[in-house]
């Protein structure tokens, strides 16, 4: 092999996309010292999006998912601000993790800070949320008013979506209507139902079965209120269920355009040019499972590589044998018969290096 592309997503909770890329690249160079290794970071619209785009970080303190202040940031890329929902309402910030009670209010504060700084182009990456509030907290921070049947205004969370009687956009920050907002989604899920935000993702955020049913009912309820009060139908919109319904909220309240997250990242990276003459693409993520095919970073890079006739190897923390992603030729998991999850977490960089080295050695023999 003369040219290998290295483009992993982050290994959530252990290694950033940048660190994973450096580690895999080192393993390849140790096995193939004469090969050209072209590496870059990717993200699917969640954590690491600003870094993958090379954006400068602007530190900001905002309201966290549990309504307490947290240290956050947004990115600056030319005349565009890059906002990661996870930087203000991410699961890693939630203590306790409870999608019935967490808020996206801080995401709205990040948006306002970017507007105050003069930005009128925003990219909002919405993966990695701890929330299920349909983006109502974010909208409330920006002036949208939610009221109950008694006319009292409140900031909805997942458990109180069903109390929303009226949505009033008349006081939303006027600068939002002057702003181009692009939303990077990492999933295609609808707002509610068996494939919706609550049933698919809320258990990962701390909800039990009763909580999931309550959250789903709230999302069904707000979909009707949104259509009545804003004229926007989100019930059947692809990606509406991303980030606990934040995809729907950004579309309905902010007029944003939803886009598959990985496509925006790959376009910005100029991936087609990088793939020219490549013999292999090595990508990766923490967990390779059936959701990997649903708009995640691995599926995006695999689709581009497949179109260019380049085979793809996935290096992952663990792999579900049911996972099938078109364009993926090889899958190598860090956790296997010899390496336990506990071992891999004790030194994730070391064990990712060993898995990548094992992968390139085996592929070279084929």
Per-residue pLDDT at 294 exceeds 70:
no
What CATH number should be reported for the domain holding residue 183? 3.90.1510.10
Taking residue 128's Cβ as centre, other Cβ atoms within 10 Å add up to 25
Residues spanned by the domain of 101: 49-261
Q: What is the H or E stretch that residue 219 is in?
A: helix 209-230
Query: Is residue 272 a part of any domain in this protein?
Result: no
Per-residue pLDDT at 343 exceeds 80:
yes
Q: Which of 183, 302, 289 is nearest to 241 (CA)?
A: 183
Phi and psi based region of residue 39 (left: phi greater than 0; alpha: psi -120 to 50; beta: remaining)? beta
Per-residue pLDDT at 363 exceeds 80:
yes
Q: What is the H or E stretch that residue 299 is in?
A: helix 297-307
Most confident of 54-58, 229-233, 260-264: 229-233
Task: Count structural domains, the chain.
Answer: 2
Rounded average pLDDT over 65-93: 96
Residues 6+ apart with CB under 8 A from 239: 183, 185, 187, 188, 189, 247, 258
pLDDT at 267: 85
Domain endpoint, select from 227, 261, 295: 261
pLDDT at 291: 74
Per-residue pLDDT at 175 exceeds 80:
yes
Phi and psi of 176, rounded to 5°? -65, -35
Same domain, 317 and 295: yes
Q: Which of 97, 90, 98, 96 is nearest to 72 (CA)?
A: 90
What CATH number should be reported for the domain holding residue 307? 3.40.50.10350
Domain endpoint, select from 261, 296, 321: 261
Domain endpoint, select from 198, 231, 261: 261
Query: Is residue 268 a part of any domain in this protein?
Result: no
Q: What is the pLDDT of residues 311-335, one digit of tens each?
A: 999 999 999 888 889 999 999 999 9
Same domain, 99 and 237: yes
Cα distance between residue 161 and residue 216, in whole Å: 10
Same domain, 15 and 59: no
Same domain, 54 and 31: no
């Amino acid at each position: 092999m003369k040219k290998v592309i290295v483009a992993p997503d982050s290994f959530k909770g252990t290694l950033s996309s940048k660190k994973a890329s450096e580690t895999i690249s080192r393993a390849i160079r140790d096995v193939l010292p004469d090969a050209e290794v072209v590496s870059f970071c990717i993200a699917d619209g969640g954590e690491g999006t600003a870094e993958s785009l090379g954006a400068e970080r602007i530190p900001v303190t905002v309201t966290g998912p549990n309504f307490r202040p947290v240290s956050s940031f947004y990115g600056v890329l030319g005349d565009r601000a890059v906002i990661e929902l996870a930087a203000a309402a991410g699961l890693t910030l939630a203590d306790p993790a409870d999608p019935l009670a967490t808020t996206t209010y801080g995401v709205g504060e990040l948006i306002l800070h970017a507007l105050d700084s003069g930005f009128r182009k925003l990219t909002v990456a919405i993966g990695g949320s701890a929330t299920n509030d349909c983006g109502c907290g974010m909208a409330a921070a920006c002036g949208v008013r939610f009221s109950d049947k008694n006319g009292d205004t409140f900031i909805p969370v997942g458990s109180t979506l069903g109390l929303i009687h009226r949505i009033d956009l008349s006081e939303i920050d006027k600068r939002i209507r002057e702003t181009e907002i692009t939303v990077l989604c990492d999933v295609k899920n609808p707002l509610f139902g068996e494939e919706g935000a609550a049933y698919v993702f809320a258990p990962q955020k701390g909800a039990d079965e009763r909580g999931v049913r309550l959250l789903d009912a709230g999302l069904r309820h707000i979909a009707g209120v949104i259509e009545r009060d804003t004229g926007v139908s989100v019930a059947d919109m692809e990606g509406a269920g991303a980030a606990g319904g934040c995809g729907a909220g950004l579309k309905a309240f902010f007029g944003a355009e939803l886009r598959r997250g990985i496509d925006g990242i790959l376009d910005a990276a100029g991936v087609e040019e990088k793939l020219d003459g490549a013999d292999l693409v090595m990508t990766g993520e923490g967990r390779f499972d059936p959701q990997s095919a649903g708009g995640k970073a691995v599926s995006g890079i695999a689709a581009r590589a497949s179109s260019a006739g380049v085979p793809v190897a996935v290096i992952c923390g663990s792999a579900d044998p049911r996972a099938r992603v078109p364009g993926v030729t090889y899958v190598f998991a860090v956790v296997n018969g010899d390496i336990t999850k506990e071992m891999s977490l004790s030194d994730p960089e070391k064990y990712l290096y060993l898995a990548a080295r094992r992968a390139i050695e085996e592929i070279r023999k084929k």
